Structure 1
């Protein structure tokens, strides 16, 4: 598994190296030793919950974040493909306010390590897309943060027509309101 730094501070791309044979393939989707070697002892053990979502083509989920200490995630697309988007919301980060999109799919098995302090969302690019999340804190709805996926100040570009957005995501606040809220995550 290769681990690479992205241009967003502390965001990593993990790329497994699948073994192919006449049966198909085998790949390791997580390796605690490699993860700890890159992020420090105990980093892998910090993950406490695995979740999965399934979305149809064009669905947008996001832009979601967590207040307080934030929430670190390891995200991958187990089936299909997604346009995955991050926005750095850590005021003391050199990449504060910057966004970056990544293609995650079931062809190259790339994962994103998203440290605490990012908004996260994605759009399903295939008829069905399954996204798996490994998070470092139990979910607490009281700490949920959200910015509208179509916020004009963020100006995120979604590659396909947006077909479905949840009522919660349609009602999400603006980037400006988040900046004024005092709920931004500070890096530890």
Structure 2
């Protein structure tokens, strides 16, 4: 596994070594010893799997308590995955990083605690799986506005059409009004 730092060094791309031939492929998707030495010390407590259709944007979400670090990947389709630094004491506070994750490139993204996270489906559909460092706590969840110009995410919107959003995400907070981490 190759561990690649992004423009926000705490957000890391994991690129597996894939062994394939005409029968298919094999790859390791996670090794705790490598993750601990190459990325960070974390324990994962929950795995999630979602499926979304073309043009759907989920996020940008984070929890103010039971904060979750997430190791995310796509098993079918293609997404544009984004992390926004919500840590006020960080030199990258308010900055974002976006990475294309797909079943084809088999990349994963480590999104640490203290970040808002979301993704946009660029393919007909996408299946998204992720490990979390804490349990989902909807009573502490915040949705940050996906299109806040203060963050300035350049989403690769298909045909320039507005994404499909949940009601929660339609009412996301502006970055200036959102709670931060110290």
For Structure 1 versus Structure 2, the TM-score category normalised by the shorter chain is: over 0.9
Which residue of structure 2 aligns with residue 98 of structure 1?
Answer: 95
Which residue of structure 2 aligns with residue 185 of structure 1?
Answer: 181
Matched, 1:126 2:123: yes
The 5-angstrom pairing of residues 68-79 of structure 1 reads 68=65, 70-79=67-76
State the TM-score, normalizing by the size of structure 1.
0.90
Q: Where in structure 1 are there 5+ consecutive unaligned residues?
A: none
Matched, 1:61 2:58: yes
Tell me if the contact between 1:2 and 1:16 (Cα under 8 Å) persists in the aligned partners.
yes
State the TM-score, normalizing by the size of structure 2.
0.92
Which residue of structure 1 aligns with residue 83 of structure 2?
Answer: 86
1:144 to 135, 141, 146: 141
| Residue 69 of structure 1: how far off its partner (Å) | 5.8
Which residue of structure 1 aligns with residue 49 of structure 2?
Answer: 52
Tell me if the contact between 1:17 and 1:27 (Cα under 8 Å) persists in the aligned partners.
yes
Give SS of 1:129's match.
Answer: strand
Give SS of 1:159's match.
Answer: coil
Matched, 1:15 2:15: yes
Matched residues in 2 for 1:141 and 1:98: separation?
25
RMSD, matched Cα: 1.4
Q: Where in structure 2 are there 5+ consecutive unaligned residues?
A: none
Matched residues in 2 for 1:167 and 1:60: separation?
12
Deviation above 4 Å: which 4+ runs of structure 1?
none
